[in-house]
Amino acid sequence: MIPWYKRLDTPTLLAWACLVGFGLAAIWSSTHGPAREFLLDSVKNNANKQAMWAGISAGVMLVIFLLPARFIMRLAPLAYVVCLGLLVAALAFGREINGAKSWLQIGGFSLQVAELAKGGTVLAATAFLSRRGVRSVEIGMNAGYLVAIAGLAVLILIPCGLVVMQNDTGTGLVFLAMGYFLLFWSGLVPLWVVGLGASVAVAGYLAIVNPFYLALFILLVTIGYSLWTRSKLATGLAFAATAGVGIAARFLLFSVLQPHQIGRIVAFTDPEAYADTAGYHVIQSKAAIGSGGFFGKGFTNGTQTQLAYIPEQSTDFVFTIIGEELGFIRGTLPILLIFAFLLIRLTSLGTSAGSAAPRLFAAGVTGIFLTHLLVNVGMTIGLMPVIGIPLPFVSYGGSALLANSTMLAIALALHARHDEFAVYRAE
């Protein structure tokens, strides 16, 4: 039998190290280049703080690798309850930053508890679905199937609701994406329902962008489902769901979101019209990335970034530093390729493990990372509204780096020790 430590996936760990390295370099540039003179004293030491959190994250990953897989799964209920407690505490006693009341001050550290809650939630959902033997549950109106669907919904929606109540709608969307990936990889829904979920998400997006595009998309989805499924029920559901979500998003959007979030979405549709207010982020970010060209302006030599034209450039807009100073060939393309490798590798490791727990946890983590990647990069280049989601392993933030590294370590540990999961067998 191959020892577990020889099954640890070294290429994935190297991808983690590369992304963290890119992040440290970008944060260093934003705090030690010419931009330093524009920064508050509390921000000037961010690179050293991030390096400290990178070291802590590496230590936590090592500890996780040493834990038996079954022990990790037994911690799932406790981790979930603790995460819910932290979310409630943040809602009651948390510190508000950028409109979101999602930070807890513990000693000299500020923790963004929503980041930690993602890991606790995906671990609890994995444990729940694994114990129920989801592959053996027959899809249909039976007790086993309904309990599995309802249980997963409750596990996801409770922390999601608490996060949205903290005015952190962007992170709330990440929880929903996590649930979507878990539904798909657990086999609890047929493929046409999975496609319907994606169509609904696109409809919500187009409702914000342009009503004409929404109407055209609804027509194409309806025709597509009619040809694909040959089912009047599926076709009717596709039309009703996409049209309903699109119309609801258009009319209810402004009654759910906070004023600063509404401003970002309105500016997203026409940033030039709001160049001095909500559209400022996007315009400056696109200018910075575009000016970087193929090879960039050189480390710490960016103009938009070093002259402090980019707000939040070491956190949500860290991708702009990489794009402007390193360019497409040396910066943005390598980052995107590393992320693509990481996501494909995680999916491959999960499916090759042969057990439900490693597969489902890898699916949930992949959903989280992919959502962060698409939204963060999308908002820096003007394809998504600015909703304040960091780039995993790259953006400044100790809580996010620790949480993401922990989730990645658990995924690798469950794969490396998958032979310990006799009771978690998928088939």
Q: Report pLDDT digits (tens) over 335-364.
A: 999 999 999 999 999 888 778 889 999 999
What is the C-alpha separation between 116 and 251, in angstroms, rounded?
33
pLDDT score of 362? 95
Query: From the CB of residue 190, how many other CB atoms can be counted at a distance below 10 Å?
Result: 12
pLDDT score of 10? 94
Q: Which helix (H) or strand (E) holds 95?
A: strand 95-97
The number of C-alpha atoms within 13 Å of 237 and in the hemisphere containing its C-beta is: 12
pLDDT score of 143? 65
pLDDT score of 258? 66
CB 350 within 8 A of CB 359: yes
pLDDT score of 15? 98
Q: What is the DSSP letter of 388?
A: -
CB 302 within 8 A of CB 336: no
User: Which stretches in the chain have pLDDT values below 50?
Assistant: 136-138, 141, 423-427
Residues written for the chain:
427
Token code pair at residue 214: 């929404």
Question: Which residues touch 146 (CB under 8 Å, ≥6 apart)?
Answer: none
Q: Which helix (H) or strand (E) holds 104?
A: strand 100-106
SS in 3 state form for 320-344? HHHHHHHHHHHHHHHHHHHHHHHHH
Query: From the CB of residue 412, how many other CB atoms can be counted at a distance below 10 Å?
Result: 25
Q: What share of the chain is helix, strand, coil (3-state, %, to 5)?
A: 75, 5, 20
Q: What's this model's pTM, rounded to 2 decimal places?
A: 0.89
pLDDT score of 196? 75
CA distance readout (Å), 239 to 7, 143, 180: 46, 29, 20
pLDDT score of 424? 43
From the list 79, 153, 98, the residue with the least C-alpha distance to 281 is 98
Q: Where are the domains of the chain?
A: 4-188+274-424
Query: From the CB of residue 360, how many other CB atoms can be counted at a distance below 10 Å?
Result: 28
Q: Report pLDDT digits (tens) over 115-150.
A: 999 999 999 999 998 876 555 444 554 566 778 888
